């Protein structure tokens, strides 16, 4: 060893140092001249800038790498993280160079081991690049900030138009499909947005809603799913956003859909048309149809109402909805001055404020039809009915009426007029009180009159009277001489009145019928103004309630007159059989009344939301009363206006149903009835007048119609009254009424007339090819007139007396009035009355439409069989009546046009003209 150590050693001419090695120590001892160890140079390592940024951005990740490399005797010199081409250095730690023996063991494999270790660490990271421009990045920028992308770095490079996804390999691999899909979809959307165009189409909100509800919008989107359809309510436009081809496809489909919608003009009441014009059509279409899943809408052009619907089913449902949800009601205004009162203005303002607060749902207006004043309420059915009820109640309560309370015997009248002054003075504060024959007449507001009537009736019921008949000779003279003395003594000593009555002196006002008709089966139907409590029949009908408690109205008056036993009898019926149902009738004794028995019938309380049910129940009540009277072998019955009082049934409708029930009863085939006389009885003039009018309309031309001498004169008939005499005559064929209306008798063809209006007579089938006058007019006017007439009659009845207006077409007139004329019935029916009505309607329409002249043919004198003299009399009479009763402002000339060959009619007309 020593020898070797002393020698110098060369290896390939390079000096090699040799040192002794001691096995026991396990080391070599170098002594003073130790070996010179070469420290490894730093290793440069190229790293992705995105991995570098990711390592620097994750807290603690860089330190972890430093620690792991330190275990491999390596220090890392990290480049700046913003460097574009980063290179890091792996450095041998300077502190190890002082430990020679340690360095010797490390340096041999340091470079290899360090490089491999660091490479393994870097290989755990992964970078994926994606093609992307700045617009796509802006679109996904917010999305990549979500928790889905925690733990990775997403870095855009707009110069390269790329985005880099960096992170741990497993994280990047997991996120890559999601991010790649996001990038691809967003790129498509951005590209689509660049090519997207928007077009605007005008469309009503209702039509757009129909498109949505009916699935038409979905149908379009199924074809072009990426198209965007938006609706702008303020501008009423639909916006189509998409590619050019998509927009064109959608526009085409919308045009096809619009053209395929069903269209129809519908006939509506003019008042309902006014209501619809006043409302927002779009809003009303939604209320009526769209809210009920009916794909339809209303369009109004002037006075033409059109209905558009998606399908036939929608069309049918929409028409049904219009009938159910739109309503107009007319209320007869008897006292027009009421409409100028502050109370009416206040009520009208209140109703409009309540029902039209959010949207217009009702329209309230005054209307005149054939010289009759009406209040018309039109709009949504529910609100119209509510409004109608309040207006009806207002008019009912405040309309000025006149009624008479019969007072018999005349001594009672004397007593109340002399001893009841305090009561009468109190009543006179609110109503006018007058004495007229054997009745007390009250006039004033309806409510006050009814209150006053109850007070007077109660007072009359509290009075007692008796009659002393003296048949001894000279008694009459004696009483007449001493009447003043005896009457004064009775009043002073006994507070009673004595009055001498002679047979036949008492007024017969209440014993004569106002109208009477004998029906073909021999039964007599009469109208009487009388107190039901003293009317002379076998049985009277009482308007009762379900419990037979007679506490008000007619029922109370009957109870007061009959005595309290009547209530006991009724209570017993309820105890035995329970409450009655509406329409039921029961019979009791009459108590103190002059009749034999009383039938108590339960009439319906008026319900404006179910009028047909009320009418049916009222007819049932009358029918059961008539049946009960016959079952008890009575020959005469008196019926009041059941349900028209405190039960609120509209008076005219009430009377119409009562008379209709009577007609159904008497005309029932095989009817075996003991009744011979049916009396309609009331003390109120208005009720009596309506009883008379309705009875005349239903039965007036039956076997025998007999007006009473107590009645006002009847309308003109052949034997009743001649027309007012004209005051001025021009030539032989012209008559001038004193009011200025000119009537001309002309011999010419009707189609040659040049007046504003021509009247045509047609049958119920409205066929203009039938009848000489119709054929002549059709030939000159052209075939279009037939179509106009058919259109005008849609939705209306073609009953005799109906009048339909059309344009004059090729005729020299502005308007043709087509009247449905009945066949002559030899005065067994209503044909004469209908003829009178036709003349009135035509004249009224001409005046109302501001026409100055009108031409009539000799209506009914041809195939319809009317007597020529009757037609002449009716026509002249109605023309003169119209002239004198109405303030005619427009109509100046009426022509009666006769065919030159019809000499018989010409002769009769000329005689009537004289």
Q: Is the dihedral of CA 97, 99, 105, 106 positive or negative?
A: negative
Give the range among 57-71, 246-260, 898-912 with minimum mean pLDDT. 246-260
Contact 745, 738 (CB under 8 A): no
**Residue 506 predicted with pLDDT over 50:** no
pLDDT at 750: 93
Output DSSP code: residue 564.
T
**Cα(664)–Cα(144) distance, integer angstroms:** 87
Give the range among 86-95, 165-174, 459-468 with minimum mean pLDDT. 459-468
Contact 598, 540 (CB under 8 A): yes
Residue 298: in which H helix or E strand, if any? Answer: strand 296-301
**Strands lying side by side in the sheet with 197-202:** 197-202, 237-242, 228-232
Contact 838, 762 (CB under 8 A): no
For residue 715, give both structure tokens.
Answer: 């309308």
**Cα(422)–Cα(427) distance, integer angstroms:** 9
pLDDT at 618: 95
pLDDT band of residue 711 (cuts 50, 70, 90) is very low
Q: Is 628 left (phi over 0), alpha (psi -120 to 50) or beta?
A: alpha
pLDDT at 397: 78
Chain-centroid distance, C-alpha 262? 22
pLDDT at 104: 66
Tell which residue, 452, 360, 450, 465, has the closest CA to residue 409: 465
Tell which residue, 58, 63, 91, 59, has the closest CA to residue 77: 91
Residue of higher predicted confidence among 752 and 502: 752
Q: Which residues contact 669 (CB under 8 A, 6 or more apart)?
A: none
**Residue 329 predicted with pLDDT over 90:** no
**Residue 731 predicted with pLDDT over 50:** no
| pTM summary value | 0.38
**Strands lying side by side in the sheet with 677-682:** 585-589, 597-602, 539-544, 636-639, 677-682, 524-529, 515-518, 704-707
Residue 351: in which H helix or E strand, if any? Answer: helix 342-355
**Cα(304)–Cα(264) distance, integer angstroms:** 10
pLDDT at 703: 41
Output DSSP code: residue 189.
H
In this prediction, residues 734-747 reach a mean pLDDT of: 83
Give the range among 421-430, 478-487, 520-529 with minimum mean pLDDT. 478-487
**Cα(873)–Cα(362) distance, integer angstroms:** 46
Contact 591, 626 (CB under 8 A): no
pLDDT band of residue 594 (cuts 50, 70, 90) is confident
pLDDT at 819: 94
Percentage above 70 pLDDT, the chain: 89
pLDDT in tens, 625-673: 999 999 888 889 999 999 887 788 899 999 999 999 999 898 887 777 8
Give the burial class of 156: count Cβ atoms within 10 A of its Cβ; 0-12 exposed, 13-18 middle, 19 or more buried.
buried
For residue 16, give both structure tokens.
Answer: 């090699």
**Residue 708 predicted with pLDDT over 60:** no
pLDDT at 373: 67
- Beta strand 152-157 pairing with 162-168: antiparallel
Q: Which residues contact 150 (CB under 8 A, 6 or more apart)?
A: none
Contact 162, 131 (CB under 8 A): yes
Residue 93: in which H helix or E strand, if any? Answer: none
Sole residue written with tokens 């620097």: 56
What are residue 365's DSSP bridge partners?
Answer: 376
pLDDT in tens, 771-801: 889 999 999 999 899 999 988 887 777 888 8
pLDDT in tens, 546-590: 999 987 778 888 998 888 899 999 999 999 888 899 999 999 999
Tell which residue, 824, 868, 859, has the closest CA to residue 840: 859
pLDDT in tens, 824-865: 887 767 788 889 889 999 998 998 888 999 999 999 988 888
**Cα(725)–Cα(41) distance, integer angstroms:** 146
For residue 373, give both structure tokens.
Answer: 């004043």
**Cα(593)–Cα(524) distance, integer angstroms:** 23
Residue of higher predicted confidence among 162 and 5: 162
Contact 204, 297 (CB under 8 A): yes
pLDDT at 726: 39
Q: Rounded to 5 degrees, what are φ and ψ at 25?
A: -85, -25
**Cα(703)–Cα(457) distance, integer angstroms:** 39
**Residue 482 predicted with pLDDT over 70:** no
pLDDT in tens, 361-375: 888 888 765 444 678
pLDDT at 849: 86
What are residue 516's DSSP bridge partners?
Answer: 526, 706
pLDDT at 511: 55
Most confident of the ranges 61-75, 104-118, 431-445: 61-75
- Beta strand 228-232 pairing with 162-168: unpaired
pLDDT at 779: 92
What are residue 540's DSSP bridge partners?
Answer: 598, 638
> What separation, in Å, do the N-terminal and C-terminal C-alpha atoms of the chain show?
181
Contact 414, 421 (CB under 8 A): no
Give the range among 198-212, 231-245, 369-383, 763-777 with minimum mean pLDDT. 369-383
**Residue 509 predicted with pLDDT over 70:** no
Give the burial class of 747: count Cβ atoms within 10 A of its Cβ; 0-12 exposed, 13-18 middle, 19 or more buried.
middle
pLDDT band of residue 138 (cuts 50, 70, 90) is confident
SS3 754: coil
Tell which residue, 260, 175, 192, 256, has the closest CA to residue 228: 192
Residue of higher predicted confidence among 512 and 60: 60
Tell which residue, 895, 582, 605, 593, has the closest CA to residue 752: 895
Most confident of the ranges 201-210, 265-274, 400-409, 688-697: 688-697
**Cα(316)–Cα(298) distance, integer angstroms:** 14
Give the burial class of 759: count Cβ atoms within 10 A of its Cβ; 0-12 exposed, 13-18 middle, 19 or more buried.
buried
Output the CA–CA distances (angstroms, integers) from residue 422 to 416, 419, 458, 515, in the order listed: 10, 8, 15, 38
In this prediction, residues 245-261 reach a mean pLDDT of: 80
Mean residue pLDDT across the chain: 82
- Beta strand 597-602 pairing with 539-544: parallel
User: H helices then E strands: how many in the chain?
Assistant: 29, 38
How crowded is residue 227: how many other Cβ atoms within 10 Å of its Cβ? 18
Q: How do the residues of the chain divide into helix, strand and coil, expressed in percent and rounded to 5?
A: 45, 20, 35
């Amino acid at each position: 060893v020593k020898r070797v150590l002393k020698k110098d050693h060369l290896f390939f001419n390079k000096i090699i140092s040799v040192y002794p090695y001691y096995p026991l120590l396990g080391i070599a001892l170098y002594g003073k001249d130790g070996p010179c160890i070469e420290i490894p140079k730093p290793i440069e390592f190229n790293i992705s800038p995105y991995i570098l940024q990711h390592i620097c951005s994750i807290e603690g990740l860089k330190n972890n790498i430093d620690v792991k490399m330190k275990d491999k005797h390596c220090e890392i010199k990290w480049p700046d993280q913003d460097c574009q081409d980063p290179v890091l250095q792996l450095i041998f730690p300077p502190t190890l160079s002082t430990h020679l023996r340690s360095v010797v063991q490390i340096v041999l494999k340091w470079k290899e081991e360090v490089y491999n270790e660091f490479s393994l660490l870097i290989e755990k990271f992964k970078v994926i690049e994606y093609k992307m421009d700045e617009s796509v990045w802006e679109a996904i920028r917010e999305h990549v900030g979500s928790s889905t992308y925690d733990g990775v770095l997403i870095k855009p490079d707009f110069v390269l138009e790329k985005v880099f996804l960096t992170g741990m390999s497993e994280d990047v691999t997991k996120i890559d499909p999601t991010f790649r899909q996001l990038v691809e979809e967003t790129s498509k959307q951005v590209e689509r947005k660049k090519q997207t165009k928007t077009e605007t189409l005008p469309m009503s909100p209702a039509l757009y809603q129909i498109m949505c509800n009916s699935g038409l919008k979905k149908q379009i989107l199924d074809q072009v799913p990426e198209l965007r359809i938006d609706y702008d309510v303020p501008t009423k436009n639909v916006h189509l956003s998409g590619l050019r081809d998509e927009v064109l496809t959608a526009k085409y489909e919308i045009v096809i859909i619009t053209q395929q919608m069903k269209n129809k003009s519908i006939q509506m009441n003019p008042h309902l048309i006014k209501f619809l014009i006043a409302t927002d059509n779009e809003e009303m279409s939604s209320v009526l149809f769209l809210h009920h899943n009916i794909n339809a809408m209303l369009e109004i052009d002037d006075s033409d109402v059109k209905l558009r619907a998606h399908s036939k089913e929608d069309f049918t449902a929409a028409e049904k909805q219009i009938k159910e949800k739109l309503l107009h009601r007319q209320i007869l205004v008897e006292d027009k001055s009421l409409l100028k009162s502050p109370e009416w203005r206040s009520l009208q303002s209140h109703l409009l404020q309540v029902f039209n607060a959010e949207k217009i749902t009702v329209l309230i207006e005054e209307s005149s039809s054939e010289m009759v004043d009406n209040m018309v309420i039109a709009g949504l059915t529910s609100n119209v009915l509510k409004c109608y009820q309040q207006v009806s109640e207002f008019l009912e309560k405040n309309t000025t009426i006149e009624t008479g309370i019969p007072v018999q015997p005349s001594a009672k009248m004397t007593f109340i007029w002399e001893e009841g002054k305090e009561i009468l003075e109190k009543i006179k504060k609110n109503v006018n009180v007058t004495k007229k024959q054997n009745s007390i007449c009250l006039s004033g507001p309806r409510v006050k009159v009814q209150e006053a009537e109850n007070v007077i009736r109660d007072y009359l019921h509290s009075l007692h009277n008796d009659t002393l008949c003296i048949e001894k000779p000279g008694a009459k003279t004696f009483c007449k001489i001493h009447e003043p003395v005896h009457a004064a003594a009775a009043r002073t000593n006994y507070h009673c009145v004595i009055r001498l009555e002679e047979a036949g002196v008492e007024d017969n006002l209440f014993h004569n019928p106002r109208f009477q008709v004998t029906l073909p089966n021999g039964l007599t139907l009469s109208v009487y103004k009388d107190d039901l409590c003293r009317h002379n029949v076998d049985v009277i009908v009482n308007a009762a309630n379900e419990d037979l408690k007679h506490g008000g109205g007619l029922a109370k008056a009957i109870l007061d007159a009959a005595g309290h036993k009547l209530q006991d009898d009724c209570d017993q019926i309820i105890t035995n059989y329970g409450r009655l149902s509406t329409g039921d009738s029961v019979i009791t004794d009459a108590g103190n009344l002059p009749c034999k028995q009383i039938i108590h019938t339960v009439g319906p309380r008026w319900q404006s939301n179910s009028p047909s049910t009320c009418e049916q129940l009222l007819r049932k009540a009358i029918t059961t009363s008539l049946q009960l009277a016959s079952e008890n072998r009575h020959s005469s019955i008196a019926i009041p206006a059941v349900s028209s009082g405190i039960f609120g049934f509209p008076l005219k409708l009430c009377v119409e149903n009562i008379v209709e029930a009577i007609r159904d009863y008497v005309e029932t085939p095989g009817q075996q009835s003991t009744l011979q006389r049916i009396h309609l009885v009331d003390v109120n003039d208005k009720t009596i007048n309506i009883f008379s009018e309705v009875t005349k309309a239903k039965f007036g031309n039956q076997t025998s119609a007999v007006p009473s001498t107590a009645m006002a004169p009847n309308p003109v008939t052949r034997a009743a009254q001649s027309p007012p005499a004209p005051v001025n005559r021009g030539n032989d064929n012209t008559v001038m009424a004193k009011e200025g209306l000119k009537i001309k008798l002309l011999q010419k063809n009707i189609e040659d007339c040049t007046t504003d209006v021509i009247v045509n007579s047609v049958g119920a089938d409205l066929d203009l090819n039938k009848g000489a006058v119709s054929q002549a007019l059709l030939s000159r006017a052209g075939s279009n007139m037939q179509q106009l007439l058919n259109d005008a009659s849609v939705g209306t009845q073609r009953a005799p007396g109906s009048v339909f207006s059309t344009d004059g077409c090729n005729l020299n007139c502005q308007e043709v009035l087509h009247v449905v004329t009945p066949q002559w019935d030899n005065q067994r029916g209503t044909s004469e009355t209908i003829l009178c009505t036709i003349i009135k309607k035509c004249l009224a329409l001409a005046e109302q439409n501001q026409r100055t002249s009108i031409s009539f043919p000799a209506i009914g004198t041809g195939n319809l069989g009317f007597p020529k003299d009757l037609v002449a009399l009716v026509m002249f009479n109605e023309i003169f009546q119209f002239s004198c009763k109405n303030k005619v402002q427009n109509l100046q000339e009426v022509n009666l046009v006769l065919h030159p060959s019809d000499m018989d009619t010409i002769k009769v007309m000329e005689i009537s003209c004289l």
